[in-house]
Structure formats: C-alpha cells, structure tokens
Structure 1
Amino acid sequence: MRVLIAGAGIGGLYLAHGLHRAGVDVEVFERAASPDAFAAGYRIHIDRDGDRALRSCLPPRQVADYEAACGRPPRTFAFVDERLRELLAVEIAPAGADSGHRSINRYRLREILLSGLDDRVRFGRELAGFEQGDDVTARFADGSATAGTILVGAEGTHSPTRAQLLPHAGRVDTGVDGITGRVVPHGPPAELLPSAFADGPGLVLAPGGRNLFVATHEDYLVWGLSARRESLPAGGIGDLVPDRLHSLARELTARWHPRLRHLVDAASEVSGFTIKTSVPVPPWPAGRVTVLGDAIHSMPPSRGIGANTALRDAELLCRNLTSGMAPVAAIAAYEQEMRAYGFAAVKASVQAQRQGLVANPLAFSASKAALRVLNAVPVLRDRVFR
C-alpha cells in the first residue's frame, strides 16, 4: 500500500508518522515552499486524548521533544465578567496533579512531527486535483503527478481535495470577527495577568456580544477578543491593518476593568480573523480518496478541540489502514465514525461560541446568573463540565 497525504499540518504529519512506523509507504506533499512557512501562529490546546495519541504515535526522541515544548498544564478554567468579577471557576486538576492537558506552539509541534519524516515530505508541491480508478493519481500545480493506493486530503480549511471530492461541503460565516494579541511582559507574566487566570486560561464575558479569551505561557501571554460583527464599527474587521485592529480592541474594551484594558493595550503583535465553520455533510460513497481535520470539519476555536479532533481522525485512519482491511473498506469505516464525532465537535463548538457571545441584555444577565448558580453548587458544576 502506498499512501499519499496532501498537507503537512498536524493531522497529516501525525498520520504519516503512524503509517511510516507501521511500515507503510507514505509520502506527504505540502504546498508551502519550506517548513519556515509554518512559523506564524500561537499555542494550541492538546487535551487528554490528543496527548495520548501523540505519545502513542511518536518515536521516543520526538516524545521527549514534545514534553519539553509543552507549557505548564492548566489547573483551572475561569469565567469572569468585564469587571473581573468571578462567574465560575472550573477545576481541571487538583493542585499537584497532572490534568493531562497541554499547550504547545503550533509551529514547534509541526517541527517535532516533521523530524523523522525528512525523506517523506515534499515541499512546494500543491495538489491541483486527482483521478480515481484502480489506484489514485494526484496531480500537482507544477504539472507533475504521482500514483498511490489512496489519497488523504489534510490541507486544512481550503482543501483542494475536499473541493473535488465533496464540492457541496462548504463552510459558512458565523458572523463573528476576532482580534488576537500577543503580550511579552517586561517582568514575570503573572505580574500582568489578572489573578483569575493565574492557574489556567479563562474567558471574559462582556455585554454586547463580546468576550476575551486569556491564556498565559512560560514567557508570554495571549488574548483573543471575539465579537458579533453587527456590534463592530463599519460592520467588521475587514482588511484592517494591525495598528487599526489594536485601536479597535482598545475601543471595544474601553469600559472594562483597568487590568484587562492594560493587558489588551500591552500587546506587541496583533492580528485579525473571521470565524467560519463547516456544516454537516450527508454520507458519501467511500473510495480511494478521503479527508481529515479542518479539511472536512473545521470549527470555531471556542472549545479548543479542532487540533484534537484532527489527531483523532489521523489516529483512527491510521489504525484502520494498518488493520488488514482492504483500503476502501478501511476508509469507509473511518468516514462513518469520523462524520459522527467530527460534526458533533463542530456543533458543540458553534454552540459554545453562541453561549459566549450573548448580545441580548436580558439573555446575557440570565447567562451570567446561570454560571453563578453552577459556581455555588459544586456537584452540579462538576457534572456539567465533566
């Protein structure tokens, strides 16, 4: 069996590692000219299942590199209002215990996943299309082509593989724009960080359909400000330059607690984004081409499970392809299971985004009251957030 993977993202590289270790002939084709194209980006959340999957797939040296690159495991997740009044504090792990959750820079994780695959990854090879028959032929933008047993599209949200295989599987605009900021403090990050976020990340819920995600890492902090587009000046962030984005973030948080305003103001790197999401796709006939990760079930970042769902895809597909099943049967079994949990993750992420961006004043007050009730009843809180 020869497996062709389009896209050297986290899911595609994980799959390549798993197949390569199992003795499968695998080759990865990446549009970017070099690994340096991955340098931009923040840390991502790896949950217990994603952490277990990475440890089971990677060779010992890469596992050691992964452990060294991970940030301090979070102990709590806090919800506060724009005046830093506590709404809810959820314990992820007791003091001194390992939560099993990790955070790692996306670029660094890709570096780790690339190591050990040096002769298997081809940069500067953008997939243009494919042809299926007794095998599958991948055709590239430079005019070249290669044949394999199966093709896996792991190119992310703008996947050419998905566009040809499932042209009806589009993405929709959620009506939410965001601004992210990276803060490198002059002293310890804890001195700049509000105490509510000292032991883990958190979310500031503010009136008008706005929120602010805050997380700290060893030597820097990140924040992400999200808002419903109708609440933004000029109808959204559009093509605003970083300085204007930073000014807009200051405007949107002008009446918040001084510590939050200071955190927003202190960002040295600012960028904007528009949140889109995939929609469920009815089952399709299995063949020699399939997709994984954001190529099929991209979702809002509101639950931090996009990368973990891609890892789950790659682990499942690798297990099926190396189980002895015929390739098309292995893909059919993968797609049936992936559609169920993948689009369930999309639905949960969209719902979490809506709950965190309540614009109606009465509904917003009710939402805050519900969080305070959960906070006051630990048994109920633990059941809801387990």
Structure 2
Amino acid sequence: MSTAIVVGAGIGGITAAVALQHCGWEVTVLERAAALGEVGAGISVWPGAAAVLTELGVKGIEQAGALSGPVGLRKPSGRWLVGAADLGVELPVMIHRPRLHELITAEFGPAVTVRTGYEVKTVTQDDTGVLINDELRADLVVAADGLRSVIRTALYPQYAGPRYSGYTAYRGIADVLATDGGETWGKAQRFGVAQLIDGRAYWYATANQPAGQGGDLAAVIRQYGSWHDPIPEILAATGTALQNDIYDLPLPLVPFAAGRIALLGDAAHAMTPNMGRGACTAIEDAGALARHLTAAPDTATALTRYDAERRPAATKLVKRSRQIGQLGQLENPLARGARDALMAAGALVARGAAALRR
C-alpha cells in the first residue's frame, strides 16, 4: 500500500487525508497543535468544494435555508449599492468552521493515523520517498502546514513568503438569526454578515491598521456599532471576536510540486479572504491531488499534473481577492465615490440585461 504523510490538520489537510484514503493510501496526519480541531467563525462552502466533499462521503454540507431579507452591498447608512440578485451571484453554504472540521474528520477510517503535538523541522527526499525529521518516511508528503509553511520554506528558501495586506479582520458568531446579508463598505472598513446552516449569524469586519496592533470585540463595537441595522443587534449578541491580521502570498506562486512533495492550501496559495475561497480552494486541491494520483502512471506524473491544474487556478484567485480587498479598503473619498458609483451603475446594467432576457 502506498503511504503518505499530510503535514497540517486544517481543513485542507484533513480533506487531503480523506481523499488519499479513498484512493487506497495509508495516511499519517501530523499536527503541531496538542489536539485535533479547528478555531474560527464561519466558512463559506462554494459548489466546487461541496462537490468534492460530497464525493468523499462528507455529510451535513447542505443549504438549510435562505436569508429572508436582501443580500448585497451597501453603505454604512444602509443605502444599497448593488444586490446579489442583480448580478446573478450564487451564494455559498455557510457553516461554522469547527463544525466543518468535525464533519470531515468523521470520515477518517483505519487507513488514517493522526499524531498531534508533532512539529516538523526537517524534510528530505530522494527517488524512493520523503523523510520527515529523520524519523518518518513515506512515498508522498502533502504540505498543508499553512501560511508560514515550514516545508515550503525548505523547498523554496528564496521565496519572499507572506505579505501583509494592510488591514486586519475580526470575526464572530452571534446567537441571532441573520435576515439581511452581504457586505457594507465604509471608509477603509467593511462589515459582512451571513447566515450559518445552524441558523446563527456569522459576521466579519475589516479595518486598515498596522500589523500587530490587535483588537477585540469592544473595538469592533466602537467602529461599527453605529452602522445600519442589523449590525448593532448582531454585535450585541456576540460573545467574543477573533482578530487576525490579513496576509497572502506574493505572485508568482511557487510550484505546488517538488519531487514527491505536494503543497496544498495556504502553504501553496494563501489568499486574502475577500472572496471566501481560501478553504474551498484547499478542498479542491485535495480532490484534484487524489484524482491525479489515481489516474497517473506514477507519483511524479501525478504531481506534475496537479501543479499544472491547480497553480493557474489559485493564482487567479489570489490576484482577484487582493484586488477586491484593495477596493474595499479605500480611504480616499474621491476614489470611494467613484467606486460606489461604478457599482451602482453596474447593478442598473445588470438589471436591464436581465429584463431583456425575460
């Protein structure tokens, strides 16, 4: 039986473990944290990722219900700029991140072994396999060890690594039903709301500030508590907020394959969260990797095909997501006015085109 080591037990890593298990591989998952699990608020599951999870037998990824109110983009006053329906935007399933992690790991079978509290320090390889910490050996290593990947750094020491976007993000879960959804764009600030499949409201906010400055729920309430309804109600129903400075990886991305090592998820293509595609792209990576390992005559060919498929797709998302963030975080009032006018005009054009098609 072919053997694989997956380094990192985030969403991408555990999906890769399940996918490799489905291909008949024996998998060891190495996780640096003391326990298996995930920290976070909401996560969007787009159709491509949902299809991969469904194929792997993961249950519970379904749309429980639609928002009862409008969804789209508006200003802090509440004035709508554009509605999702005007642009024909497909909405993802929203789920609590720890819950998604549980649903995926529930599919671990006897072919998957998990070792927690294990820190990867060295990786070496030859024509026959890969050696981790001069101790663990496998036919394949999947590096799913995140934004500051130890394995990516070892493979590509010349690569610049993570770059700061210029803004931080707050995330939280409120024990209220989200009726309206979408995002609100202000001066260098954004606030988004979505309904989770369990009925609670997931929210996120962004603000321009230097890296490392920090922040908490009280800071969010000070900055966004006077924005339009239902934002004040949602914040009042929130117990705590997570805060993370936002980074991505600079382009061009490094190759996703080197010998018998495959990069996956944030280790390969960390992107800003502006499109809600980061974890979904990692899930799609896992599905593609397993597909190529099954179809190709050998591991080297499979990884070459994996890189050829996934790197161009991820590059587009990294670039587009960063551009959206730059638009959303504009500070100059003239630039913001032009941006908002263009969005409103685009909505009118889209509505007119839709009317002509009827």
Q: TM-score, normalised by structure 1?
A: 0.82
How far, CA to CA, are the matches of 1:381 and 1:163 in structure 2?
49
Deviations 1:339-358 (CA, angstroms, capped at 9, x unpaired): 21111110011011111112
**Match for residue 273 of structure 1?**
244
List alignment gaps of at least 5 residues for structure 2.
Answer: none
User: 1:330 maps to which residue?
Assistant: 302
CA distance in 2, matches of 1:220, 1:129: 42
Report whether the alignment pairs 1:358 with 2:357. no
Gaps of 5+ in 1: 230-234
Indicate yes or no: 2:126 matched with 1:133.
yes
Match of 2:342 among 360, 366, 370: 370
1:87 correspondence with 2:81 = yes
CA 1:85 to 1:179, structure 2 compared with 1: closer, same or farther past 3 Å?
same
Distance 1:337 1:109 in 2: 25
What is the alpha-carbon distance in structure 2 between the residues aligned to residue 255 and residue 318 of structure 1? 48
Amino acid at match of 1:86: W
2:295 alignment partner, SS class: coil
Deviation, structure 1 residue 237: 6.2
Cα 1:247–1:112 shift into 2, 3 Å: closer
Query: Residue 84 of structure 1 aligns to which amino acid in structure 2?
Result: G
8 Å contact 2:169–2:244 — kept in the other structure? Answer: yes
Say which SS state the counterpart of residue 311 (structure 1) adopts: helix
Residue equivalent to 2:51: 52
1:167 equivalenced with 2:147 (yes/no) = no
Paired AA for residue 173 in structure 1: Y
After TM superposition, what 4+ stretches of structure 1 lie above 4 angstroms from structure 2? 73-76, 282-285, 379-382
1:122 matched to 2:101: no
Counterpart in the other structure of 1:179: 170
| More displaced stretch, 166-175 vs 302-311 | 166-175
Q: Please tell me whether the aligned partners of residues 86 and 351 of structure 2 are also in contact (alpha carbons under 8 angstroms).
A: no
Aligned-pair identity in percent equals: 25
Per-residue CA deviations over 1:28-52 (Å, capped at 9, x if unaligned) read 22222222x42x3112111111111
The 5 Å alignment of 1:1-386 reads 1-35=2-36, 37-38=37-38, 40-58=39-57, 62-63=58-59, 65-67=60-62, 71-72=64-65, 77-91=71-85, 101-119=92-110, 120-124=112-116, 125-140=118-133, 145-169=135-159, 170-185=161-176, 189-190=177-178, 193=179, 197=180, 201-206=181-186, 208-217=187-196, 218-229=198-209, 235=210, 238-240=213-215, 245-253=216-224, 255-257=226-228, 259-281=230-252, 284=255, 286-379=258-351
Query: What is the CA–CA distance in structure 1 between the aligned matches of 2:91 and 2:173, rounded to whole Å?
Result: 25
Question: What's the CA shift for 1:25?
Answer: 2.5
Counterpart residue identity of residue 242, structure 2: S
Contact 2:194-2:202 at 8 Å conserved across structures: yes
CA 262–283 in structure 1, closer or farther in 2 if over 3 Å, else same:
closer
* Shift of residue 325, structure 1, vs aligned partner: 2.3
SS of the aligned residue for 2:172 comes to strand
Q: Which one-letter code corresponds to 2:83 in the other structure?
A: A
Distance 1:355 1:137 in 2: 43
Note the alpha carbon deviations across 1:167-220, whole angstroms, 9 max, x for none: 2330100111122232224xxx25xx5xxx1xxx310011x2111111223442
Q: Is the 8 A contact 2:130 2:138 kept in 1?
A: yes
TM-superposed deviation, 1:254: 5.4
Q: In the alignment, residue 51 of structure 2 is paired with which amino acid?
A: R
Deviation readout 1:258-300 (Å, 9 max, x if unpaired): 6433433442112211000111246557311121111111111
Q: Give 1:163 deviation, angstroms.
A: 1.7
One-letter amino acid matched to 2:131:
A
Separation in 2 of the partners of 1:150 and 1:181?
Answer: 37
Matched residues, number: 347
1:368–1:377 Cα change, 3 Å: same
Deviation at 1:252, TM superposition (A): 1.9
1:375–1:381 CA contact under 8 A, matched in 2: no
- For the residue of structure 2 that corresponds to 1:127, the secondary structure is coil
Matched-pair contact (CA < 8 Å) for 2:141–2:262: yes
Question: 3-state DSSP class of the match of 1:224?
Answer: strand
